[in-house]
Amino acid sequence: MDEEGWTANNHYHRLLLRYVPRNCQKALEIGCGTGSFARLLAGRCKRVVAIDLSSEMIRVARARSAQFENVEFELADVMTWEFPRSQFDFICSIATLHHLEQRELLVKMRDALRPRGVLVIMDLVGSQGLRERVLDVLGLGVSGTLRLIYNGRLQPPPAVRKAWEQHGKQDHYSTTNQIRALADEILPGSIVKRRLLWRYTLFFRNHIPDTSSSMTCKEED
């Protein structure tokens, strides 16, 4: 658990770490926030580049990460940031893509991967159908219970709830079908999974003609 206590995002950090390739030399996180996942990546990758648009987030991330010499936090707009081509073994983004032009960004992320590099996205999702709406209801119970266990309260503080209400008014969440269609077009062979806490994950490995694998991924909610 990081300094912010339990959240629906850091609930999945352990799952996302399972996708990091062995001997990862260079990783990129897009939308790093206060740097909690970037610090976890620092223990598995030789170098981590972490980007966020918020100057305050970057300030906090740098302050909390002073002992991590292999993490570089950069204040930048990822839509105008110059992605180096074929440079990263691992690229990830957590709860960020729904703010951005997804098609354009997915192409940039794909092209920045080295051969056999891995791209993992976790983002908020719009529910569709009975099964996913049932998952939403179950998620309310699970999130409330975990928040009580780890944070000592059933709900986030009022200021956080208000911020999320405003956040939800401004954003549009794609459905899993929409995400899969876009992934099939840009990231063929990718795997999209609906998760419990109003989120999905997307996994993609940059394909080369090699049947061997340096990583085994184990799925969990």
Q: What's the pLDDT at 136?
A: 86
Task: Specify the number of domains making up the chain.
Answer: 2
Give the tens place of pLDDT for each residue, 11-48: 999 999 999 999 999 999 999 999 999 999 999 999 99
Quote the pLDDT of residue 140: 86
**Is 52 found in the same domain as 15?**
yes
Tell me the per-residue pLDDT of 91-149, one tens digit each, with 9 for 90 and over: 999 999 998 999 999 999 999 999 999 999 999 999 988 889 898 888 888 888 887 88
Domain that holds residue 110: 10-127+172-205
Residues 133 and 119 in one domain: no
Residues 44 and 139 in one domain: no
Comparing 47-51, 147-151, 210-214, the range with the smallest average pLDDT is 210-214
**Any domain includes 217:** no
Contact between 70 and 42 under an 8 Å Cβ cutoff? The reply is yes
The residue with tokens 């061997």 is 212
Q: Residue 211 domain-assigned?
A: no
99 and 144 part of one domain = no
Same domain, 100 and 181: yes
189 and 143 share one domain: no
Residue 53 lies in a domain: yes
Helices (H), 125-212: 129-151, 158-170, 176-186
- Domain containing 64 — which CATH number? 3.40.50.150
- The amino acid present at 94, given as its one-letter code, is I
Q: How many helices (H) does the chain have, and how many strands (E)?
A: 7, 7
Query: Do 142 and 194 share a structural domain?
Result: no
User: Do 181 and 118 belong to one domain?
Assistant: yes
Q: Are residues 37 and 141 in the same domain?
A: no
pTM for the model stands at 0.86
Residue type, 126: G
Q: Is residue 86 part of a domain?
A: yes
- Note whether 57 and 141 are same-domain residues: no
Q: 123 and 77, same structural domain? A: yes
Q: Look at residue 216 in the predicted model and tell me its pLDDT.
A: 42
DSSP characters for the chain?
-BTTB--TTGGGHHHHHTTSPTTEEEEEEES-TTSHHHHHHHTTEEEEEEEES-HHHHHHHHHHTTT-TTEEEEE--TTTS-PPTT-EEEEEEES-GGGS-HHHHHHHHHHTEEEEEEEEEEEE-B--HHHHHHHHHHHHHHHHHHHHHHHSSSS--HHHHHHHHHHHHH--PPBHHHHHHHHHHHSTT-EEEE-SSSEEEEEEE---S----S-------
Tell me, yes or no, whether 115 lies in a domain.
yes
Residue 34 lies in a domain: yes
pLDDT 10s digits, 134-187: 988 888 888 888 878 877 765 655 544 444 454 445 567 899 999 999 999 999
Residues 72 and 153 in one domain: no
